[in-house]
């Protein structure tokens, strides 16, 4: 099944820097020795993209995991990193790591929390790249067709601070998983899905996450055309759901 959404990456260093900051807030870590960002094996191409644009770093496979770390150790590489992401991070923990480790190591200026609207730059795209999940759900209901389509965007994090900002801009709700001590943002309405599509068509995710997004949007287009109210349309959405599941593996 074809989908003709064209992939477009950040067009300049400022756009790239916001994407990078969002990705670091989601799946990054800064300590005295390095910056590290963890990627699922399916998104290894994104790690190589970061390395190419930044001009520094290495990629290491994590033992017994389908995951890789993009890592920057050198002072030159870390200095380039600070020039890019200063005042663009939003997660308090990541800001604290930046100021506690990079500032004394490099003699650079401290970073402040970015307070700009997250709808107008690539930060949220980077954040979704790291911690977001596109889901197509088919829920059993007592109707003629027996199934209801739900298009879910879900993001998990250790704190609800950034998730609240996303909720305020897109709708949805925030829950808490007590066994994992983790908060999650979730939205399953078509109205909210339309808001995410408006944002993500312009500020795009990459790699396997982009392929998943294309399938998720294709399911939304079926809903827009009321195809989900027919047996044929539901079969198409089932196929999209299967394809989306294969992208995540």
Per-residue exposure over 55-84, b if at least 16 CB sit within 10 Å of its own CB, e if not = ebbeeeeeeeeebbbbbbeeeebbbbbbeb
List pLDDT tens digits, range 104-153: 999 999 999 999 999 999 999 999 999 999 999 999 998 888 899 999 99
Question: Do 108 and 132 share a domain, yes or no?
Answer: no
Q: What is the pTM of this model?
A: 0.94
The verdict on 85 and 161 lying in the same domain is no
Does a structural domain hold residue 193?
yes
Residue 22 maps to a domain: yes
Going by C-alpha positions, the residue among 137, 156, 157, 139 that lies closest to residue 148 is: 139
Domain termination site, one of 88, 113, 138: 113
Q: Are residues 101 and 139 in the same domain?
A: no
The CATH number of whichever domain residue 61 belongs to comes to 3.10.28.10
Give residue 184's pLDDT.
96
Alpha-carbon distance of 178 to 158, in angstroms, equals: 11
Is the residue at 120 inside a domain? no
Domain with 234 in it: 128-248
Rg for the chain, CA atoms, rounded: 19
Ramachandran class of 127: left when φ > 0, alpha when ψ lies in -120 to 50, beta otherwise: alpha
Terminal-residue alpha carbon distance, the chain? 19
**What is the phi/psi pair of residue 157, to 5°?**
-160, 160
Same domain for 103 and 150: no
Q: What is the pLDDT of residue 1?
A: 43
What backbone phi and psi angles, to 5 degrees, belong to 108? -90, 170
Residue 6 belongs to some domain of the structure: no
Q: How far apart are CA 112 and CA 114, in angstroms?
A: 6
Tokens of 73: 């150790």
- 96-105 long-range Cβ contacts below 8 angstroms, 24+ apart: 97/29, 97/30, 97/31, 98/30, 101/30, 101/31, 101/32, 102/30, 102/78, 105/32, 105/75, 105/78
Same domain assignment for residues 73 and 40? yes
Residues 58 and 146 in one domain: no
Tens digit of each residue's pLDDT, the chain (249 residues): 445 678 889 999 999 999 999 999 999 999 999 999 999 999 999 999 999 999 999 999 999 999 999 999 999 999 999 999 999 999 999 999 999 999 999 999 999 999 999 999 999 999 999 999 999 999 999 888 889 999 999 999 999 989 999 999 999 999 999 998 999 999 999 999 999 999 999 999 999 999 999 999 999 999 999 999 999 999 999 999 999 999 876
pLDDT at 247: 87
Do 241 and 138 reside in the same domain of the chain? Answer: yes
pLDDT tens-digit profile of 153-165? 999 999 998 999 9
pLDDT at residue 2, rounded to an integer? 47
Q: Do 109 and 133 belong together in one domain?
A: no
Question: Is the residue at 1 inside a domain?
Answer: no
């Amino acid at each position: 099944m074809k989908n003709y959404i064209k992939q477009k990456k950040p067009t300049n260093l400022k756009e790239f820097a916001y994407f990078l900051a969002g990705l670091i807030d989601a799946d990054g870590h800064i300590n005295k020795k390095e910056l590290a960002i963890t990627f699922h094996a399916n998104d290894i191409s994104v790690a190589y993209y970061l390395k190419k644009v930044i001009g520094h770093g290495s990629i290491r496979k994590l033992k017994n995991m389908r995951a890789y770390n993009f890592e920057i150790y050198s002072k030159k590489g870390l200095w380039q990193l600070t020039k890019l992401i200063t005042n663009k991070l939003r997660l308090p923990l990541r800001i604290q790591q930046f100021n506690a480790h990079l500032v004394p190591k490099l003699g650079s200026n401290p970073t402040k929390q970015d307070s700009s609207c997250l709808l107008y730059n690539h930060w949220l795209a980077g954040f979704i790249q790291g911690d977001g999940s596109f889901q197509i759900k088919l829920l059993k209901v007592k109707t003629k067709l027996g199934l209801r389509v739900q298009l879910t965007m879900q993001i998990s994090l250790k704190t609800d601070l950034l998730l609240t900002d996303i909720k305020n801009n897109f709708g949805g709700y925030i829950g808490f998983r007590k066994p994992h001590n983790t908060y999650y943002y979730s939205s399953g309405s078509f109205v909210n899905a339309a808001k995410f599509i408006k944002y993500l068509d312009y500020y795009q995710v990459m790699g396997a996450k982009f392929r998943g997004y294309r399938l998720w949007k294709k399911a939304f287009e079926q809903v827009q055309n009321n195809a989900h109210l027919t047996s044929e349309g539901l079969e198409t959405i089932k196929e999209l759901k299967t394809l989306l599941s294969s992208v995540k593996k």
